[in-house]
Structure 1
Amino acid sequence: MKLGEYLDKDLIIHELSASTKTEVLAELVKPVIQKYPELDQNTVVRILQDRENLGTTGIGDGIAIPHGKVEGLDHIVLVVGRSSEGLDFEALDYKLCNVFFLVLAPEQVAGMHLRILAQISRLLKDKEFRAEFAQADSEDTLWELLQKA
């Protein structure tokens, strides 16, 4: 499985402007709503916040993988965002997060979104990939990097 198959260039945010966890969730969801206007932004953000209340998706090493199941989706949606400065996402290692992969899945899908979460986790363990991700100077550069993933 290649993550590139689940990515859309319109859903890559080269530089997040958010400064809080709630703001970053809203900023990651915004391009999804623009692409899929039938979804309600407040509902999607609430689903993600509810998931965060169960335990942070800031997994450490500067990485956060917020995720949730959304009624009305018929396929998995990935959003990739980066924060050069990093922000407090209540990560398990208490470090700031720079790399964000938002995964939204249809309510009825179980196995596929878990495989995608596992693939993202494996990819982000690669220090070379993380370094290239951090140095990417545009959405296009991030897109090209992620197409190889």
Structure 2
Amino acid sequence: MKLASLLTPDQIVLDMRTEEHMGAILELVDHLVEVERLSPSLREEVVESLRAREEQVSTGIGYGVAIPHAFSEKLDQVVTVFGRSAKGIDFEALDHCPVHFVVLFLVPKKDYHMHLQTLAAIAKMFTNCEIRKQLAAAECRTEILNILAGKGSRNVA
């Protein structure tokens, strides 16, 4: 499954403000609430699930990428948000480098296998240095979606 199929332009944050691990998660969850992709009534449950997951081991996988994720019995479909930080976020990543790309996703508990497939696909995509360079240089949300869809970053019809 391509990450682009889980995102719309309103689920992309071009310039994250925070420089701290849990602050980044809160910023992205609040964005999902703001754009009405996540019910405000689920915010606290989701934040606590993400916090518990991060306490196990950081989801900063290296390469300047973090993939915070959690499950919820109250979701009917996967909810995703992509955030980009030019400054970098201290995500306590495995390689100890700042994170510039955060893909946060929430999965219905019944879709555990989709979670594994999505996590693997995202991790594989972001090991590609060229994709990370294109994402860093992208000037708008549509360009980011095109890159994530495998259509390249420039002059896409």
Cα drift, residue 138 of structure 1: 2.2
Give the equivalent residue in structure 1 for 2:5: 5
- Determine the C-alpha separation between the residues in 1 that align with 2:80 and 2:118: 9
CA offset digits 1:87-140 (Å, max 9, x no partner): 100001111110111111001211011101100011101111110011112223
Give the equivalent residue in structure 2 for 1:144: 146
- Determine the C-alpha separation between the residues in 1 that align with 2:104 and 2:124: 15
Cα drift, residue 144 of structure 1: 2.5
- Determine the C-alpha separation between the residues in 1 that align with 2:139 and 2:15: 9
- Number of residues of Structure 1 aligned to a counterpart in Structure 2: 149
- Secondary structure of 1:110 counterpart: helix
- Determine the C-alpha separation between the residues in 1 that align with 2:41 and 2:149: 26
Gaps of at least 5 residues in structure 2 are 152-157
- Secondary structure of 2:94 counterpart: coil
Q: What is the letter of the counterpart of residue 90 of structure 1? A: E
Give the equivalent residue in structure 1 for 2:19: 19
Go from structure 1 to structure 2 and tell me whether the alpha carbon gap of 1:39 and 1:106 turns closer, same or farther (over 3 Å shift).
farther
Cα drift, residue 50 of structure 1: 0.4
**Runs of 4 or more off by more than 6 Å in structure 1?**
none
Q: Is the 8 A contact 2:4 2:149 kept in 1?
A: yes
Give the equivalent residue in structure 2 for 1:28: 28
Gaps of at least 5 residues in structure 1 are none
Give the equivalent residue in structure 1 for 2:63: 61
- What is the TM-score normalised by the length of structure 2? 0.88
- Determine the C-alpha separation between the residues in 1 that align with 2:116 and 2:88: 26
- What is the TM-score normalised by the length of structure 1? 0.93
Give the equivalent residue in structure 1 for 2:155: none
Q: What is the letter of the counterpart of residue 19 of structure 2? A: S
Cα drift, residue 84 of structure 1: 0.5
78-87 or 139-148: bigger deviation: 139-148
